[in-house]
């Protein structure tokens, strides 16, 4: 027997069901199910770091910069808007936020717009340091 004859021959163990005599049962609709993925962090991302030189009253917030979500660390006690922004980084490029306080009393407010998946570390040094979360009103 040639290879072609073996290939095209009917298999003896195959059931010989006549396709015309099959019962036509109710058609089941197959639903497409999508499974949500967990949030992922880019492994090559860098932490957003800031070290205060003097007493600081800071707020960490998330804002949209032309369609790109950005994390921004703002000094609430700065006199002009140009001096308010202490650090800024794209959320996709941020693995964590690390804020180191000064030897004075420091305060860090974490706005509720900041995703909970982004770890925030606030290391106070000397002085009465206060981390707090801000609730939306």
> For 1-31, how does the pLDDT look when each residue is reduced to its tens digit (9 = 90+)?
677 777 777 766 555 555 555 555 666 677 8
pTM for the model: 0.60
Q: For residue range 71-105, what is the model confidence (pLDDT) as tens digits?
A: 999 988 887 877 888 888 898 888 888 988 888 88
**Secondary structure of residue 54 in the 3-state scheme:** coil
Q: For residue range 40-74, what is the model confidence (pLDDT) as tens digits?
A: 655 667 888 888 888 888 889 998 988 889 999 99
Alpha-carbon gap, residue 54 to 91, rounded angstroms? 27
Q: Are 104 and 129 in contact (CB under 8 A)?
A: no
Q: What is the pLDDT of residue 51?
A: 87
Domains of the chain, residue spans = 46-133
């Amino acid at each position: 027997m040639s290879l072609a004859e073996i290939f095209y021959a009917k298999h003896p163990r195959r059931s010989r069901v006549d396709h015309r005599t099959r019962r036509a049962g109710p058609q089941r609709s197959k639903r497409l199910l999508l499974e949500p993925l967990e949030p992922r962090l880019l492994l090559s991302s860098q932490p957003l770091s800031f070290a205060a030189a003097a007493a600081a009253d800071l707020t960490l917030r998330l804002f949209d910069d032309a369609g790109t979500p950005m994390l921004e660390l703002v000094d609430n006690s700065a006199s002009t808007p140009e001096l308010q922004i202490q650090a800024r980084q794209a959320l996709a490029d941020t693995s964590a936020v690390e804020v180191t306080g000064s030897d004075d009393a420091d305060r860090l407010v974490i706005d509720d717009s900041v995703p909970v998946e982004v770890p925030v570390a606030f290391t106070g040094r000397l002085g009465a340091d206060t981390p707090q979360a801000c609730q939306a009103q």
